[in-house]
Amino acid sequence: MREDPSLFSAFFYPESIVVVGVSPDRMNLGKNIVQNCLTLGYQGEILSVGLKKGVAFGQRIYQSLEEIDRKVDLAVILTPARTIPAILEQCGRKGIRHAVIESGGFSEMGEDGRPLEKACEDVAKKHGIRFIGPNGIGVINLEVGLALPFMPLRTDLTLGPVSILAQSGGVGLSYLNFMADERVGINKFVSMGNKLNVDENDLLSFLVHDKGTKIILVYLEGFTDGRRFVEIASKSEKPILVHKSNRFEASARIAHSHTAALFADDRLVDHALEQAGCIRLNALDDAMDYVKSQTLPPLRGNRLAVVSRSGGHAVIAADACAYYGFRLAQFPDDFLRKFESRFRAHVIRLQNPLDLGDLFELEFYEYIVEEMLKRDDVDGVLLGHGYRRGYEQEASRELFKKVEKLVEQYQKPVATFVLTEAVEADYLKKNVRIPVFSAPENAMRALSLSHRWGTRKALTREIRTLQNIDKAGATKILAAAAGRGEVVLSEAMDLLRSYGFSSPPSRLARSTAEALEAWRKSKGPVAMKINRPHISHKSDRGAVRLNLDSEAGLAEAFEVFLSLGGKETEVMIQAMANPGKEVILGGKRDLCFGPIVVFGLGGIFVEALEDVVWRIAPLSHEEARGMIQSIKGAKVLRGIRGDKPYDAGAIADLLVRLSQMLVDHPGIQEIDINPVMVFHDGMGAQALDARIIIGWNQ
């Protein structure tokens, strides 16, 4: 059962808070929490609790929550870890149902911290308390001046559209500092810490519905429930930027000691976030470019105009334009001639990108940008400008302020990069409400993200009812296999057929005579495969023979199989499929994301090229078609060098069926269907081989 996101509003809009862990001591961290709220203008009541009697900021320090005679909405706790369960018990008796626990010393320190966490969980469950943390630095809501971190905050934080969820307090503070430097406004901030009670999914669900939040930035070292994250994010109408670290085994060991993060296969994370419509970030500076891009109107097409005071930077911008797949708009001569009269030496060619190195009337730059924004064949502008402080300073500042108004008027993005002294660039960032970048590549990367978000299509998650599904029959097959702890090849093929997969006719044989009889009935060449479980790379191990079409060939192959499997060996005699293209369908049950489906080119190419794509099950037909188009080898399936297209619709149908099988039968831990032979358009596809590993939770 999913909770109503509004249940978490008390973390952001409390009418009263109590800070537990305040003392009159000069170095007391609890006092910093009170000070931050006072500095940023929190208008609610602030109460303090600590072991020592005294006064903090002119107010009494209570020695216990029980001494407070009025209602409190939110408790902020910063005391030694061993004291937290008892303080939560006081909160429960006091009727406080929301808490932020900033103390460290729990499971991030190892298994010794787990009993304390368990005690906190038990008390919270007993009293219906929801808490953020432990091991975090708090919550900020600049809409109301709520500021709960235990270190003094910068006073130049500004209210804006970006809300941040950070598993690491240090990384979260880095983002706050970067955004303050870039003058990007913050709305809400949460340092989630160990995510023991309230996790990223609870908070993401709240922010997706939060009116003040327009852009969501998430830093994670591990997902609490990756499947739920994708479900929430895929429904968001707001851009969600995800900086996911803990990507490799070395960082996984560090992360486990830091926030008990669960390592997930990084390629799977990539594909899951893509499926959810999120933008994945790989570095802190990526985040700033991407966040800044979202403060501009969206770029809804790929036609750009580039205007630069430096010819060299114009060339760099043109290269970046091509790299990100944009097209430079082609301007007619009469349009370009509008600008010619203002050039001095007339030694610069009029084109796009437009080099303004010969133009020194900065007020005319505004005219040029506006004329470009007016055009229907221009979706956005990249403007580069350079100047020195004290020379063209005021005119340049005025230019950027005028461009800001043009962006608002025409609702098209103008990404600006400026080459000037650091102090002057800082002035522009703090006084101009459009983002200012330091290089053309950064500005173009930001436009790329803007275009990606502005042209996205809402994904249809409609899951159709599938025909020709025998779920009960599949359950019987898996139950029988679970009794033995293994699935043999013939059972794997039967399981696929129960979910509507087609496969070539086959028979089982325990002797040479039975094998020969099966071959004669097939009336054509056959494949012989050993009917055993868990055999990967059967061709490498001699456990499969293809194109057998003679008595001698079958007899010799059967003797080889007996040498591999012993006297009780059973083989499958399978009619050879018609020629086609081999693809692989597969799936596994991931601890974080649940059942997932994989697709790629089949045969040896899946390992040699690693050209595969993952998606979380169940799939819609639209998602399945998207998987097929996502691999680099998609053009092979579309037909190359005169070959006809192959049946992508049949592959999509099988992907949907496989995804439903994985959802229906949790006992399937892994499945490889390799190869699946796909035929030309309209001719369907056949599963030729399968390998299934089951668990014990049928």
Helix axes 621-630, 648-664, angle to 10 degrees: 120
**Whole-angstrom distance, CA of residue 51 vs CA of residue 622:** 61
Residue 172: band (very low, low, confident or very high) from pLDDT cuts 50, 70, 90: very high
Does residue 149 register a pLDDT over 80? yes
Q: Which CATH superfamily is domain 7-149 in?
A: NAD(P)-binding Rossmann-like Domain (3.40.50.720)
The residue ranking higher by pLDDT, 638 or 6, is 638
**Whole-angstrom distance, CA of residue 414 vs CA of residue 219:** 28
Give me the pLDDT at residue 260, please: 34
Is the CB of residue 197 less than 8 Å from the CB of residue 131? yes
CATH number of 154-295: 3.40.50.261
Topology agreement, domain 7-149 and domain 298-454: yes
Does residue 2 register a pLDDT over 80? no
Question: Which of 236, 255, 237 lies closest to 246, judged by CA?
Answer: 255
CATH number of 298-454: 3.40.50.261
Is the CB of residue 573 less than 8 Å from the CB of residue 546? no
Q: Which residues of 463-473 are buried (b: 16+ CB within 10 A; e: fewer)?
A: beeeeebeeee
DSSP 16-43: EEEEES--S-TT-HHHHHHHHHHHTT--
* SS3 state of residue 94: helix
Question: Which of 508, 579, 516 lies closest to 548, judged by CA?
Answer: 516
Host H or E run for residue 596: strand 594-601
Question: Which of 520, 515, 505 lies closest to 562, judged by CA?
Answer: 515
**Whole-angstrom distance, CA of residue 421 vs CA of residue 311:** 20
**Whole-angstrom distance, CA of residue 646 vs CA of residue 636:** 9
First to last CA, the chain: 23
Reported as a single tens digit per residue, the pLDDT across 120-142 is 999 999 999 999 999 999 999 99
What is the arithmetic mean of pLDDT over 432-450?
Answer: 88
What is the arithmetic mean of pLDDT over 457-481?
Answer: 83
Question: Residue 294 is which amino acid?
Answer: Q
Does residue 343 register a pLDDT over 70? no
Q: Report the topology of domain 505-576.
A: Dna Ligase; domain 1 (3.30.1490)
Here the tokens at position 61 are: 């320090």
What is the arithmetic mean of pLDDT over 456-483?
Answer: 83
Give me the pLDDT at residue 608, please: 65
Bin 92: left if φ > 0, else alpha if -120 < ψ < 50, else beta: alpha
Residue 539 neighbours by CB under 8 Å, 6+ apart: none
Reported as a single tens digit per residue, the pLDDT across 238-267 is 999 999 988 766 555 554 433 333 345 788
Report the DSSP beta bridge partners of residue 327. Answer: 303
Is the CB of residue 412 less than 8 Å from the CB of residue 394? no
DSSP 442-482: HHHHHHHHHHHHHT--PPP---PPPSS--HHHHHHHHHHHH
Residue 309 neighbours by CB under 8 Å, 6+ apart: 355, 356, 357, 359, 384, 385, 386
What is the arithmetic mean of pLDDT over 156-161?
Answer: 93
Here the tokens at position 35 are: 């000070």
Give me the pLDDT at residue 287, please: 84
User: Percentage of the chain with pLDDT > 90?
Assistant: 63
Least confident of 196-205, 435-444, 643-652: 435-444
Does residue 344 register a pLDDT over 80? no
Give me the pLDDT at residue 345, please: 47
Report residue 658: phi and psi, to 5°: -65, -40
What is the arithmetic mean of pLDDT over 433-439?
Answer: 88
Does residue 204 register a pLDDT over 90? yes
Own/partner contacts of 559-567, CB < 8 Å, gap of 24 or more, are 559/512, 561/528, 561/530, 564/530, 565/530, 565/532
Q: Which residues of 284-299 are buried (b: 16+ CB within 10 A; e: fewer)?
A: eebbbbbbbbbbbbbb
Give me the pLDDT at residue 558, please: 92
The residue ranking higher by pLDDT, 298 or 473, is 473
The residue ranking higher by pLDDT, 462 or 92, is 92
Report residue 411: phi and psi, to 5°: 50, 40
Give me the pLDDT at residue 453, please: 79
CA 337 centroid distance within chain: 47
- Ordered by start, the domain boundaries in the chain are 7-149, 154-295, 298-454, 505-576, 581-694
CA 581 centroid distance within chain: 32
**Whole-angstrom distance, CA of residue 514 vs CA of residue 142:** 78
Question: Residue 668 is which amino acid?
Answer: I
Reported as a single tens digit per residue, the pLDDT across 519-533 is 999 999 999 999 987
What is the arithmetic mean of pLDDT over 20-32?
Answer: 94
Give me the pLDDT at residue 250, please: 53
Question: Residue 624 is which amino acid?
Answer: A
Give me the pLDDT at residue 686, please: 97
Give me the pLDDT at residue 601, please: 87
Reported as a single tens digit per residue, the pLDDT across 279-326 is 898 887 788 888 888 888 988 899 999 988 888 888 898 899 999 999
Least confident of 175-184, 230-239, 443-452, 603-612: 603-612
What is the arithmetic mean of pLDDT over 436-450?
Answer: 88
Reported as a single tens digit per residue, the pLDDT across 489-517 is 999 999 999 999 999 999 999 999 999 99
Q: Report the topology of domain 581-694.
A: D-amino Acid Aminotransferase; Chain A, domain 1 (3.30.470)
What is the arithmetic mean of pLDDT over 547-566?
Answer: 90
Give me the pLDDT at residue 594, please: 92
User: Percentage of the chain with pLDDT > 70?
Assistant: 91
Helix ranges restricted to H, 145-283: 169-182, 200-209, 226-233, 249-259, 266-276
Give me the pLDDT at residue 205, please: 96
Is the CB of residue 670 less than 8 Å from the CB of residue 587? yes
Does residue 586 register a pLDDT over 60? yes
What is the arithmetic mean of pLDDT over 55-74?
Answer: 94
Give me the pLDDT at residue 246, please: 80
**Cβ atoms within 10 Å, residue 15:** 13
Is the CB of residue 641 less than 8 Å from the CB of residue 541? no
Residue 363: band (very low, low, confident or very high) from pLDDT cuts 50, 70, 90: confident
The residue ranking higher by pLDDT, 538 or 611, is 611
Reported as a single tens digit per residue, the pLDDT across 366-380 is 888 999 999 999 999
Give me the pLDDT at residue 259, please: 33
Residue 101: band (very low, low, confident or very high) from pLDDT cuts 50, 70, 90: very high
Here the tokens at position 451 are: 């275009």
Helix ranges restricted to H, 210-301: 226-233, 249-259, 266-276, 284-293
Does residue 237 register a pLDDT over 80? yes
Does residue 438 register a pLDDT over 50? yes
Residue 540 neighbours by CB under 8 Å, 6+ apart: none
Residue 607: band (very low, low, confident or very high) from pLDDT cuts 50, 70, 90: low
Does residue 174 register a pLDDT over 50? yes
Helix axes 393-410, 422-431, angle to 10 degrees: 40
Name the pTM for this structure.
0.86
Is the CB of residue 277 less than 8 Å from the CB of residue 233? yes
Give me the pLDDT at residue 348, please: 58
Q: What angle do CA 253, 78, 17 make, to 5 degrees?
A: 125
Q: What angle do CA 574, 576, 580 make, to 5 degrees?
A: 135
Give me the pLDDT at residue 255, please: 45
